[in-house]
Amino acid sequence: MVAKGDMIYAWAKDADILKAGECGGAVTALLKHALESKMVDAVVTVKRGTDLYDAVPAYITDPAELIQAAGSLHCGTLLIPKIIKKYINPTCDQKLAVVCKGCDVMAFYEMANQNQLNLDNFILIGLNCGGSVSPIAARKMIAEKFEVDPDLVTKEEIDKGQFIIEYDGKHKGVKIDDLEEEGYGRRSNCRRCQMKIPRQADLACGNWGVIGDKAGKATFVEVCSDKGAALLSAATGKTVAVEAANPKGIEIRGKVENAMLKLGDHWRKHDFEKLGTGKARLDYMIKESSRCTKCYACIESCPVCNCAECSTKKSCYVEPGVLPVNPMFHLIRFAHVFDSCINCGQCEELCPMEIPNALFMHSQQVEPLLKELL
Ligand code: FAD
Ligand code: SF4
Ligand code: SF4
Ligand code: SF4
């Protein structure tokens, strides 16, 4: 019997899922059990689209199709809860099991606070997350730093601090620290992210702390809720095999998490210092934001931007059809979103004008300008 707080190594019993999974396929096997046992009506996962830089959301009701979504796509930068709300389950009346990075989990909670989603309808299978790389940035990095044609790459992974690619039967790995010093690597919001093990999910799954003969062949599962315990208990012996996590592995996982949190602190300091302080910071943000074409991608994609009537569309604040955009457009967003911004990076990832929106909003949250200017 599994209970909240347990630390477990888990892997798929099915040989095909074991092979296709990133670290033994436990996540896919858990999702399979959730569907087969009708604990949920459907599963939302992420699968490969046209190539490995193209991660697409998948809504799956047939357990046999789950294997197509096995494996980790480190260039997958989707934010799942907003996609569910908008496209998959707008009425939120289905039971869904969903795979979630830390930013997905935070978005679930923020959206639930705003009554956009009902958490009772979800089983959240959290994935530890060291960070993701934007698809276009990944292609550029592989061409320039790895000197490999990005279209030849058949697999990418992040392991022991390296970004590793497989191509033409060969391997090449470069240290992420080195890549990031030269401006490549993870998205800037991911570098600043402090949600490495998503314990707000029902289960937190990852490869950190899996040692010994299970290294690379099992997933470390931290059981974070009774709902998570119920799923893992029910799946054990059916789709999933388990053993208690190695105590040394638990210790190592804790050390890696702490090191990642320190790295997040380093990047916060680094990125925020570059923005200047006080009025100079505000002026810089307004100047950079003046490139905006008011396409609304940042608003549409933001999990905490959900007003029925958006103030940026009111002509008394922002005159329609006028460019450059009135700074009020961005000031309204700062004022409305900064206190609940989860630093998911969507507003930056999808901005066609490459405005560092997430950096600006995240800096407001951590170091509010208003406080400094008063
Ligand atoms: P599988 O059975 O292979 O299932 C993996 C599930 O992940 C599938 O359902 C798939 O749809 C989903 N998925 C794949 N890509 C994404 C994506 N981009 N966003 C959301 N869901 C996705 N673990 C660590 O311990 N440390 C890390 O630093 C770490 N970084 C990660 C970074 C990313 C971007 C991702 C996606 C995962 C990361 N993981 C990390 C988790 C780890 O890679 C495995 O996903 C986990 O151990 C489960 O392995 P598995 O074999 O049980 O999963
Ligand atoms: Fe992972 Fe955090 Fe980046 Fe989300 S914001 S992809 S949880 S590192
Ligand atoms: Fe994510 Fe940007 Fe919204 Fe913050 S403002 S929650 S980074 S989309
Ligand atoms: Fe402006 Fe970029 Fe937002 Fe579009 S996504 S409205 S260009 S800031």
Is the bond preceding 368 in cis, omega lying within 30 degrees of 0?
no
Quote the pTM value. Answer: 0.96
Asked whether residue 203 falls in the same domain as residue 112, the answer is: yes
Supply the mean pLDDT for the chain: 94
Distance CA 191, CA 345 (A): 11
Asked whether residue 122 falls in the same domain as residue 170, the answer is: no
Asked whether residue 2 is assigned to any structural domain, the reply reads no
Q: Are 317 and 296 in contact (CB under 8 A)?
A: no
Asked whether residue 228 falls in the same domain as residue 361, the answer is: no
| Beta carbon of 344 within 6 Å of any ligand 3 atom | yes
Bridge-based pairing of strands 42-48 and 96-100 is: parallel
* pLDDT of the residue at 89: 64
pLDDT > 60? residue 236: yes
Reported as a single tens digit per residue, the pLDDT across 81-123 is 999 998 876 566 789 999 999 999 999 999 999 999 999 999 9
Asked whether residue 216 falls in the same domain as residue 234, the answer is: yes
Nearest listed ligand to the Cα of residue 9: 1
| Beta carbon of 341 within 6 Å of any ligand 3 atom | yes
Number of domains in the chain: 3
Residue ending a domain, among 264, 283, 306, is 264
* pLDDT of the residue at 161: 85
Question: What's the domain range around 330?
Answer: 274-373
| Beta carbon of 289 within 6 Å of any ligand 1 atom | no
Confidence of residue 188 (pLDDT cuts 50, 70, 90): very high
Write the residue with the smallest CA distance to atom 4 of ligand 4.
Answer: 295
Write the residue with the smallest CA distance to atom 7 of ligand 2.
Answer: 102
* pLDDT of the residue at 158: 84
pLDDT > 70? residue 374: no
pLDDT > 70? residue 279: yes
* pLDDT of the residue at 87: 84
Asked whether residue 161 falls in the same domain as residue 290, the answer is: no
Instruction: Return the residue matching tokens 């949190």.
Output: 261
Asked whether residue 107 falls in the same domain as residue 221, the answer is: yes
What CATH number did the domain enclosing 141 receive?
Answer: 3.10.450.750
Asked whether residue 146 falls in the same domain as residue 287, the answer is: no
Asked whether residue 191 is assigned to any structural domain, the reply reads no
Asked whether residue 109 falls in the same domain as residue 220, the answer is: yes
* pLDDT of the residue at 369: 74
Q: Are 85 and 67 in contact (CB under 8 A)?
A: no
For a pocket test of ligand 2, which of 78, 344, 348, 361 has the largest count of ligand atoms closer than 8 A to its C-beta?
Answer: 344
Asked whether residue 168 falls in the same domain as residue 244, the answer is: no
* pLDDT of the residue at 91: 60
Asked whether residue 160 is assigned to any structural domain, the reply reads yes
pLDDT > 60? residue 171: yes
